[in-house]
Amino acid sequence: MRWTVLNAVLAAVSLSATAALAGPLEDRIAAGESIRIGFANEIPFAYPGPDGSPKGFVNAEVLGVLAKMGYDNIEPVQTDWGGLIPGLQAGRFDIITGGMNILKSRCENIAFSEPMAKIGDAFIVAAGNPKGIETYADIKDKGAVMATGAGYSNIEAAKAAGVPEGNIMQVPGPTEILAAVKAGRADAGAGTYFTMKQLAESSGGAVAVTDPNALPEETMNWAGIGFRSEDQDFLDKFNAAQKDYLGTPEMLASVEEYGYDEATLPGDKTTEWVCANR
């Protein structure tokens, strides 16, 4: 009897210790609940399809990694870009799949996976680029107005180049960036090259995209997948699975339609390095 009671106590202690080690996401999975992925409407990174299904190369990559981990009970949650980090912290979803650049300021608030893409910036400008804008320094020197999304990494990049805060117009997302440039309320729209290229192609020739190679190396960014810090247990498993999956023929085939190719692979930079240097 004594051994039975003791064994029960030890089992309870063991279960308590295991529960203490598990983060909120592991708890949801153990309870049979879905893994909720949060993203905005950022073509071609992550966006909802006509039926609400998760589209874009970041969603495709994450779904591939989760499938390799044995998870297919996935629930997409769309929100505004500015609501991604607050929504993750508030528990409205479990993973940010929006294509978020890893930045020191963001690393202080959430945990990132190892990088899954190397991303360059670019601008959209009026056809013919009348103000000759190619870099953030050009925006500063010409006293130009730049439109970009609220919470975008381009805000920090512009400020680092000396662009006054009053010359940075923050709008909800890509649709509003394009509208501001087309209407002449902004001289340039800033975002990732992927997004700006898509906006230019959709504008019927009203705007053009600048050459991302005109920007200095320090504006290059690496995108990762966002997690709550208390889900480090799950993040460690995700990183291991992503390492085996990223860059494989299967993975590259799943993202090809969105313009992601071998040139977009993140290279050898680690999240630790990016958090310290961006």
pLDDT on residue 240:
98
Q: Are residues 32 and 113 in the same domain?
A: yes
Same domain, 140 and 200: yes
Q: With a cut of 70, say whether residue 15 has pLDDT above it.
A: no
Other C-beta atoms closer than 10 Å to the C-beta of 55 total 22
pLDDT of 11 reads: 35
Do 114 and 231 sit in the same domain of this protein? yes
0.75 exceeded by pTM: yes
Cβ-contact 164, 146 below 8 angstroms: no
70 and 102 part of one domain: yes
Predicted confidence at residue 17, as pLDDT, reads: 36
Residue range(s) defining the domain that contains residue 190: 121-219
| Average pLDDT rounded to a whole number, residues 58-77 | 98
Whether residues 75 and 33 share a domain: the answer is yes
Measured between alpha carbons, how far apart are the two ends of the chain, in Å? Answer: 61
Q: Which residue among 170, 187, 219 closes a domain? A: 219
Same domain, 167 and 113: no
Same domain (yes/no): 205, 267: no
Q: Does residue 184 share a domain with residue 71?
A: no
pLDDT value at 73 more than 60? yes
**Whether residue 28 is found in the same domain as residue 156:** no
Residue percentage of the chain with pLDDT more than 70: 92
Domain final residue pick, 203, 219, 235: 219
Domain-located, residue 12: no
Q: Report DSSP state, residue 204.
A: T
| Domain assignment of residue 18, yes or no | no
Q: What is the pLDDT of residue 3?
A: 30
pLDDT score of 21: 53
**Mean pLDDT of the 234-241 span:** 98
Report the half-sphere exposure of 24 (CA within 13 A, side-chain side): 14
Instruction: Establish if 6 belongs to a structural domain.
Output: no
Average pLDDT on 225-248 reads: 98
Residues 6+ apart with CB under 8 A from 243: 114
CATH number of the domain that residue 238 is part of: 3.40.190.10
**Do both 101 and 228 map to the same domain?**
yes
pLDDT band at 50 (very low <50, low <70, confident <90, very high): very high
Instruction: Decide if pLDDT at 156 tops 70.
Output: yes
Query: Do 91 and 205 sit in the same domain of this protein?
Result: no
pLDDT tens string 95-152: 999 999 999 999 999 999 999 999 999 999 999 999 999 999 999 999 999 999 999 9
Residue that is last in its domain, among 187, 203, 219 = 219
Query: What is the reported pLDDT for 224?
Result: 98
Whether the CA torsion 174, 209, 142, 120 is positive or negative: it is: positive
- Model confidence at 218, in pLDDT bands (50, 70, 90)? confident
Tell me the percentage of the chain whose pLDDT exceeds 90: 90
The number of folded domains in the chain is 2
Confidence of residue 6 (pLDDT cuts 50, 70, 90): very low
Do residue 206 and residue 228 come from a single domain? no
CB burial readout 197-232, b (16+ within 10 A) else e: bbbbeebeeebbbbebeebeeebebbbbbbbbeebe
Q: How confident is the model at residue 16 (pLDDT cuts 50, 70, 90)?
A: very low
